[in-house]
Amino acid sequence: MEHVTRTDPFSFSVDPSTGIVTPHDNLIQRRLSHMNGMFMDQAAREAMLEVEDTLLYEVYEVEVPDEAGHLMVCTSITYPGKVGREYFMTKGHFHEKIQTAEIYSCLRGQGIMMMESDRGDWKAEPMTQGRAVYVPPYYAHRSINTGQEPLISLCVYPGGAGHDYATIETKGFRKLVLEKNGKPEIEDNPKWKSRI
């Protein structure tokens, strides 16, 4: 794969049906085995893992300098499926520089962007083709695929923002999105720990 750090003007293409960015520099693939303790139903996760280490989501990254002034750009593709009643989702993260925002422009699929601030405020916004979500500063964010096809977004965030995964890994999101009677429902996370 071509590996360059771009500082000159450039353009790239995004296939809205697959989320593949051309050209791209990195492809991140996250599987069930990478999501230890993140899904509510641990037994369902373990049973699935015995059969297959399912691919949950992919991220195609375009490499630009990871520093203030630049805009990091990538696509995220979350595949459809569930672990127990819980829909496939991204790990979710705060930005290391917590005062930085992000835009997710949804290109395909149906889902929910779950957002939660460091003060414990939360908001769930719909993700659907043609709709964009603004994740403000101080909000952790996780995309959740509640549909039958890949949930694809083009994401843009400030260079130098960084990813803080540890907070979500240890404390979780306050709310979960679970299937109930065939529909997504937002429920309290019994394991959530307040950050304050």
Where do contacts with ligand M6P occur on this chain (CB under 6 A)? 30, 59, 74, 76, 90-93, 102, 155, 163
116 near Zn ion (CB under 5 A): no
Q: Which is nearer to ligand M6P, 92 or 184 (CB)?
A: 92
Q: Taking the complex as a whole, how short is the minimal distance between the CB of residue 148 and ligand M6P, in angstroms?
A: 21
Residue 82 binding result from ligand M6P, Zn ion, none, given CB thresholds of 5 to 8 Å by partner type: none
Give min distance, CB of 95 to Zn ion, in A: 6
The residue with its CB nearest to ligand M6P is 76
Picked from Zn ion, ligand M6P, none, the partner binding residue 45 (CB below 5 to 8 A depending on kind) is none
- Return the structure tokens found at 100: 């930085």
Query: How far apart are CB 139 and Zn ion at their closest, in Å?
Result: 9
Considering CB under 5 A, how many residues would be counted as binding Zn ion? 1
Q: Extract the tokens encoding 22.
A: 């051309």
- Using CA atoms of 187, 45, 167, 5 in order, give the dihedral in degrees to the nearest 10: -120
Sign of the CA dihedral 43, 79, 111, 25?
positive
Contact between 102 and Zn ion (CB under 5 A)? Answer: yes
The verdict on 58 binding Zn ion (CB under 5 A) reads: no
Q: Residue 32's binding partner, choosing from ligand M6P, Zn ion, none, with beta-carbon cut-off 5 to 8 A by kind?
A: none
Nearest to 156 by CA among 108, 113, 111, 106: 106
Residues 6+ apart with CB under 8 A from 102: 95, 134, 135, 141, 155, 156, 157, 161
Residues 6 or more apart whose CB falls under 8 angstroms from that of 82 comprise 88, 179
Residue 98 to residue 139: CA distance in whole angstroms: 8
Smallest distance from ligand M6P to CB 92, Å = 5
* Distance in Å, CB of 41 to Zn ion, minimum: 26
Give contact residues for Zn ion (rule: CB under 5 A).
102
